[in-house]
Chains A and B, each alone.
Chain A
Amino acid sequence: MPEAMQHQSNAISRRKFLKTSGGVALLIGASGLLPQLISCGDRRNLQEALAKYPVNAWVRLAEDGSLVIYNPAAEMGQGSMTSLPLLFAEEMDADWEKVQVEFSPQVSEIYGSPGWAPGSKLMFTVGSRTTNSYYTTMRRAGAQARQILLHTAATLWGVPIGELSTSPHTVAHKASEREISYGELVPHLTMPDPLPEVGEDQLKDPADFRLVGKDIARWEIPAKVDGTAPFAMDLRLPDMAYGALERGNLHGAAPTLENESEILAMDGILKIVPFDYAIGVVATTLEGALEAKKKMKIRWGDSQASGFNSQEAYASYAARAETGPQGEVITNKGDCERALRAASKTYTETFRNDYIYHAQMEPLNAIVQVAEDGSRAEVWVGSQQGADSKLGVPAQLGIPPEKVDIHLQYLGGGFGRRSMSDFVWECTELARAMAPRPVKLVWTREDDMGYGTFRPMSLQRLRAGVDRQGRITGLSHLVVGDGGNLVASGVQNDHYNIPNQWAEWRSASHGIRLKHWRSVGHGPNKFAIECTLDEIAHDLGQDPVALRRGLMADAPRALATLEKAAEMARWSEPAPEGRAKGVAFVEHGSLGTGICEISVDRDTGQIRVHHFWCALDAGVVVQPDNVIAQMEGGVLMGMSSVLKEQITIVDGKVQQSNFDSYPLLRMLEVPDSVEVALLPSREHPQGVGETGTPLVACAIANAFLRLTGKRLRHLPFTPQRVLEALNT
């Protein structure tokens, strides 16, 4: 395949190019700041300029036309390494084949996208915000680069800039039939003064996009296929030592090491580093550190989690839902209680949702090197970045942020777990103890799971009321669980016309470590909402798609995804014998409707998903095939979590430790097909990474209801729970 091979050769020429110091750096500023031209050979000036100016993006153009574009976001499989540079290249009118991509420095004042607080900037690859938050930034920066090239050509030829045009990597003056390549312009580059502002109206019309919306191969895939793509786990530094921590499986328990001298006497053990919640060890080899960790005799104290049993806690959650007190009100639209009292029929549904674990395939790890006098540090890590400056390492070491360099690596999966820097801080402590020796900290899978940060367990109590015409007039959604938004996200129904709505979160606290897990509260909450809708449809003898069609009358974009998915799945035709289809709608930035077709083995309780159809409106789609891949992957990860995954806590202790006790979806369990349709749109791009996953629980449970007349109301749908449901 020629395109693929081209990317292969790009990977090689990239290395070559980085060694040369020719060419110039174009520092493309935020509006109001003049761009700068700095020779790539002048590293100091370059660094100073980068530190000084609020530069949004940085492109390095060499005389041979090769171009490096920075990617400011983490690459964890979602394609940022291609999508963000592609936006820049689109507006610059660059030849994509000449583009190399590098991670930008991790300096959020320079490379951040607009943060949540007005005027703030953030480098944080979370919430499916990457393309959404960088779309305009990258395009404007690329357009400014093009302006500089046009200005330079106009000056060189003495012609009005308005007479010039660009085609990929080339400026042309049609009247005099002259052309010059971007590379050839490098020695002549000059800044326009004043620099014309590039307003949104000067950006390309999406209809003229040459790269955006086309199937451009992902830039880093060849390296992921020949084994050269560097993950932090793969790096080795000269004289590097290895660290490991024993943390136990009772979160927050204080350790007492009872055989310290025995551990220190082991071969190659360099140091024991105690933590409040763990005992760290540093050794000359990884196997030595792991062996020492295994040999540690640790007496564990109690923690807040002691005595906590997750499966028993649902009773207290139900009581909390029943009797209050009232928690935090999230939605209060109309008068929900009055609507429920006035309803001709009401429905009350209770949903439960067990803890689940991220299970990113690359266990957590980092390498940190702290200078002997503690004045500087370097960090090599696969991270989703964070709100703390330089992952919080400067604050931890008490040094200024500019004294810490973060070398971002590819992430072997993120899913929210790598948006927390606990493992980086641990490694920094080990490295501080070993300074100036670099230390690589490796979490074993058992560490990663037993001391995981989970999607919290929760209970959803939904009450809905319908009037005599069968219209839903009120919906009350109560969430009980630990973690605020971790359990409460996704309770809103902005695309359903339900006049009276109430949503409320009631807290719980168990001392179990928690974290955002792909799509966060949307998984459990959409499960509850969408199943309640199907319960009503089932009871009133309505078609589930028709019921949603009525609710979406004022939400044409959502409705279009429903109609498209119904068409793809041939909703109106009966499913094959022994199978049924179920539908669900989810909004998570982008809007998606999913329909699955399932069957159930009534002897074993195994649910089999045969097909999954999704229709998605994500606004402008930068990389269509990649968005399809995100939906495919999101659906399969959803299936895994919904059908198989469960963390249980007994007396505060996590009961699962590895993939033998926490099984993931395997290849024999995949559907025959996952089909994705992307609806055309000119709207601003919306995130797609978290729309597929929450579709799955509700679509399966709704199909199950249509197939069996029984309800699945507790995630995950293990065979045992399926059998219990069938026998009710």
Chain B
Amino acid sequence: MPKISLKINGRTYQAEVAEGTSLLWVLREHLGLTATKYGCGIAQCGSCTIHVDGQAMRACALKAEDLTTGQEITTLEGLSEDGSHPLQRAWVEVQAPQCGYCQPGQLMQAAALLQQNPRPSREEIKSYMNGVLCRCGTYLRIIKAVERASEIQNNPDA
């Protein structure tokens, strides 16, 4: 089986996987980076959202072997050292998660949004976050948390 090398959260990881294996299974089952979740496998639910060179992408739809040429992969494990990213602080503050399973995808999608657009409007948040499903129905709190994170990020003393 081919050996591949991936750059994830600033570290280099090696894995031996069959050709065509999705990045999602490599992250979760080969490397133990399990914050990125499996929900649908067809890029419909967004639970596996990660960043590739800062862009939000669905790990289930990416082949691991296509990301071995220096791309920077970021997963929720790499969003902050200690859960202190403004989004994570805001998520706790508004008590956003219920079951919690989709939240890594929600957080990574929101992180990409705030990188591109530090002060998104409510409509921009909804539109950008629309691809990430939550079955528990935490959407309203997620919107509130993204707005709150934007405040924290733009005014760290807030």
Contact = CB atoms under 8 A, between A and B. Distances in A.
A359 B40 CA distance: 10
Contact of A76 (B29, B77, B99, B139): B99
B100 A236 contact: no
B95 A221 contact: yes
Contacts of A224: 97, 100, 103
Contacts of A587: none
Given A412-B100, A412-B102, A667-B132, 16 more contacts: A4-B92, A77-B98, A217-B92, A221-B97, A224-B100, A225-B91, A227-B104, A229-B100, A361-B37, A361-B45, A445-B42, A629-B138, A632-B138, A633-B137, A665-B139, A670-B140
Interface string A592-632: 00000000000000000000000000000000011001101
B40 A659 contact: yes
A426 B30 CA distance: 24
Nearest to B47: A361
B99 A285 contact: no
Contacts of B95: 217-218, 221, 625-626, 629
A62 B103 CA distance: 34
B76 interface: yes
Interface in A488-502: none
A724 interface: no
Contact of A637 (B100, B102, B136, B143): B136
A222 B76 CA distance: 13
Interface in A191-244: 217-218, 220-222, 224-229, 231, 233-234, 236, 242
Interface residues of A, number: 67
28 contacts: A76-B98, A78-B98, A221-B95, A221-B100, A224-B100, A225-B83, A225-B91, A225-B100, A226-B35, A233-B37, A285-B29, A286-B29, A288-B18, A361-B47, A363-B39, A410-B99, A412-B100, A445-B41, A629-B95, A632-B138, A635-B137, A636-B139, A658-B40, A658-B44, A659-B40, A659-B42, A667-B130, A670-B126
**8 nearest A-B residue pairs (beta carbon):** A227-B35, A636-B137, A412-B101, A77-B98, A224-B100, A77-B99, A633-B137, A234-B34
Interface of B: 1, 17-18, 21-22, 25, 28-30, 32, 34-35, 37-42, 44-45, 47, 75-77, 80, 82-83, 88-89, 91-93, 95-104, 107, 125-127, 129-143
Contacts of B98: 76-78, 629-630, 633
A670 B132 CA distance: 13
A666 to B, nearest CB: 5
Given A8-B83, A658-B42, A361 B92 contact: no
B95 to A, nearest CB: 6
Nearest to B16: A285
B101 A7 contact: no
A685 interface: no
A362 B126 contact: no
Interface centre among A217, A362, A635 (most CB of B within 10 A): A362
Contacts of B29: 236, 242, 285-287
A632 B140 contact: yes
A660 B104 CA distance: 21
Contacts of B30: 285
Interface centre among B17, B30, B92, B142 (most CB of A within 10 A): B92
Contact of B39 (A291, A445, A668): A445
Contacts of A442: 38
A287 B34 contact: no
A74 to B, nearest CB: 10
Contacts of B96: 221, 225
A132 interface: no
Contacts of B100: 77, 220-221, 224-225, 229, 410, 412
B135 A664 contact: yes
A39 interface: no
A225 B133 contact: no
B43 to A, nearest CB: 9
Nearest to A236: B32
Contact of B92 (A1, A667, A671): A1
B40 A1 contact: no
Nearest to B44: A659
Nearest to A242: B29
B135 A361 contact: yes
Contacts of A359: 135
A413 B136 contact: yes
Contacts of A665: 137, 139
A360 B99 contact: yes
Nearest to A638: B137
Contact of A632 (B32, B39, B137): B137
Contacts of B25: 285-287
Interface centre among A7, A76, A226, A445 (most CB of B within 10 A): A226
Nearest to A626: B95
A450 to B, nearest CB: 13
A209 to B, nearest CB: 20
A133 interface: no
A446 B135 CA distance: 17
